[in-house]
């Protein structure tokens, strides 16, 4: 069990999953406090790193593409304070942070967790029900229906349509865009058979966002909906072109085997380095080496 406790939060690793708990410090963002504790299975990780600074450092998790609906819905647009996969580490805990990184990396290595994209979500998305007021409306989601209600700041043309109720089965996409500079942000739902290019200010299926404190919370609602939509890889398969000739497949397969063989050799060298530096015990090194030799 590896654990690091900071004012920014607590990260714990038991060998199978990481438990990320936001801290109670007033500097912890509203989004992270609202999201609450996250349990990230080891298989969802692509890597972990620690960056040292003069006064503080930062632990960062890198998830496999397609593993987390929040990261997919936010499109990499979450700012550092709102990113639940970062932890600020005080300088007197740098040694603990480095030990934590080593423990997670060794587990990834021993379990042979690949870093390539996944074909299904490995995290469930934010807990439900959710109701968030920001910008020109309130968005609510209970797992089956999205409800959009307008406030006094809503454009008259949009408010005239009244409260919107959208079934998840009718949705093909959800998009969260934060406000940036002079550009307003939005939370937009795309309904099957009714795409629109109307500005969010006038789109009855969008909430317009102006960059206020609660705006990032709309990313959580977008993630909760995204978790119940088809995985992005399902669309990619549907949109794929004609099947390649078998000769091309055989050639690609041979090239893949060569790439895999080189990767396994690199992994063997990495294991040797870890063993020589004392990170891996004799038993751990032997088991990991045998697993790789079997694959070769």
Question: What pLDDT score does 283 carry?
Answer: 66
From residue 87, how far is each of 5, 38, 48, 61, 77 by CA, in Å? 10, 13, 11, 9, 17
Q: What's this model's pTM, rounded to 2 decimal places?
A: 0.77
Contact 10, 195 (CB under 8 A): no
Question: What pLDDT score does 197 carry?
Answer: 81
Question: What pLDDT score does 280 carry?
Answer: 61
3-state secondary structure of 235: helix
Kindly give the confidence (pLDDT) of every residue in the chain, 296 residues in length, as a single tens digit, with 9 standing for 90 and above: 899 999 999 999 999 999 999 999 999 999 999 999 999 999 999 999 999 998 999 999 999 999 999 999 999 899 999 999 999 999 999 999 999 999 999 999 999 999 999 999 999 999 999 999 999 999 999 999 999 999 999 999 899 989 999 999 999 999 999 998 888 999 999 999 888 888 999 999 999 999 999 999 999 999 999 999 999 887 654 444 444 444 444 444 444 444 556 666 666 776 676 667 665 677 667 766 666 665 55
Rounded to whole angstroms, the Cα distance separating 143 from 33 reads: 21
Q: DSSP string covering 178-234, please? A: --BTTB-EEEEEEETTB-----TTT-TTEEEE-S-TTTTHHHHHHHHHHTTSPPHHH
Question: What pLDDT score does 279 carry?
Answer: 53
């Amino acid at each position: 069990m590896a654990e690091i406790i900071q004012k920014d939060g607590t990260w714990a690793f038991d060998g199978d999953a990481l438990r990320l708990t936001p801290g109670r410090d007033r500097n912890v963002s509203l989004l992270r406090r609202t999201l609450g504790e996250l349990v990230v299975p080891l298989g969802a990780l692509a890597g972990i790193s620690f960056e040292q600074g003069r006064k503080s450092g930062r632990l960062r998790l890198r998830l496999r593409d397609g593993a987390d609906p929040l990261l997919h819905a936010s499109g990499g647009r979450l700012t550092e304070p709102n990113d639940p996969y970062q932890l600020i580490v005080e300088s007197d805990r740098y040694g603990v942070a480095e030990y934590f990184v080593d423990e997670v990396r060794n587990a990834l290595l021993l379990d042979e967790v690949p870093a390539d994209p996944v074909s299904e979500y490995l995290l469930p998305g934010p807990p439900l029900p959710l109701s968030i007021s920001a910008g020109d409306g309130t968005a609510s989601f209970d797992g089956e229906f999205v409800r959009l209600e307008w406030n006094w700041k809503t454009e008259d043309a949009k408010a005239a349509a009244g409260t919107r109720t959208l079934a998840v089965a009718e949705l093909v996409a959800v998009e969260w865009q934060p406000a940036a500079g002079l550009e307003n942000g939005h939370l937009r739902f795309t309904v099957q058979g009714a795409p629109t290019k109307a500005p969010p200010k006038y789109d009855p299926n969008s909430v317009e966002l102006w960059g206020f404190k609660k705006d990032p919370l709309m990313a959580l609602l977008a993630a909760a909906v995204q978790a119940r939509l088809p995985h992005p890889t399902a669309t990619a398969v549907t949109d794929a072109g004609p099947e390649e000739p078998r000769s091309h497949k055989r050639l690609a397969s041979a090239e893949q085997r060569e790439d895999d063989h080189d990767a396994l050799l690199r992994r063997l060298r990495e294991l040797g380095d870890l063993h020589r530096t004392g990170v891996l015990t004799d038993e751990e090194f032997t088991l990991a080496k045998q697993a790789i030799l079997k694959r070769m």
